[in-house]
Amino acid sequence: MSGKTTGYFLRRSLWPCNLLGPLHMRRISANASRRCSSSEPTKQANSVKRSQFIPAAESKHDWVGPPHRLSNLRPIIYHIPENETELEKQLRTLRQETEDWNHAFWTNQNITFNKEKDAFVLSQLKEKGLTERDEKGRKRALNSEEMAVFYKHFLDENCIRHANYNKDWYRRNFTITLLMGRVAFHSVWRTLAERRGWKKGSPTT
């Protein structure tokens, strides 16, 4: 692993996990796109490779990278604890799968949004008899009222896709929250058992 790659990631403490922060950010961003089914990202989205960064074995933290240039989301590599239990592995796997799903969704959405916005701007300039760039080579832009027409159309066209995304996002986070609670409960139980010398066993949750 190169030093350059390592420098792009910052470690973060494992607990508490910020579940609501990304939700607010993504819901606001949802006001900017939809086109395909949320379960069917485009080939462009699927072709985007995640970082191959691997934290050192002695690392005790999650690692967060810089915002991706297409999805605008920060990639997260979750810490794999020593002696990870099956329940902890289930939680970590679901969290990582959710990160990948979210990355693919917003990569596709942002690519679609930018392409359609550029096409709209060019069509409006053409109607005015203008070229894409002015005499000084600067890219022409539309005013806020003209762009509002595009934004409204895009939101209307993507309404169902955003609704499906939000439902799936809430479902995933609800499951993650339940798993986090179970992991925490088992951890407390294990600690008490070790301190009091109880026989090994897991509580029913």
Taking only the tens place, the pLDDT of each residue in 162-172 is 999 999 999 99
Pairing mode of beta strands 62-64, 76-77 = antiparallel
Backbone angles phi, psi at 11, to 5 degrees: -85, 160
Task: Give the Cα separation of 37 and 169 in Å (integer).
Answer: 14
Positions in the chain short of pLDDT 70: 1-58, 199-205
Inter-CA distances, 150 with 32, 58, 113, Å: 10, 50, 10
Predicted confidence at residue 124, as pLDDT, reads 94
Predicted confidence at residue 30, as pLDDT, reads 36
Predicted confidence at residue 57, as pLDDT, reads 62
Predicted confidence at residue 192, as pLDDT, reads 86
Predicted confidence at residue 37, as pLDDT, reads 36
Instruction: Specify whether the CB–CB gap between 75 and 103 falls below 8 A.
Output: yes
Task: Note the Cα 184 to chain centre separation in Å.
Answer: 24
Length of the chain: 205
With CA atoms as reference, report the closest residue to 11 among 60, 83, 50, 49: 60
Predicted confidence at residue 42, as pLDDT, reads 42
Cite the DSSP H helix spans in the chain. 3-7, 20-29, 43-47, 86-127, 144-157, 159-196
Sign of the Cα torsion 26, 31, 36, 38 reads: positive
| CB within 8 Å of 65: residues ≥ 6 apart | 8, 9, 10, 51, 53, 74, 75, 76, 77
Angle of helix 86-127 versus helix 159-196 axis, rounded to 10: 160
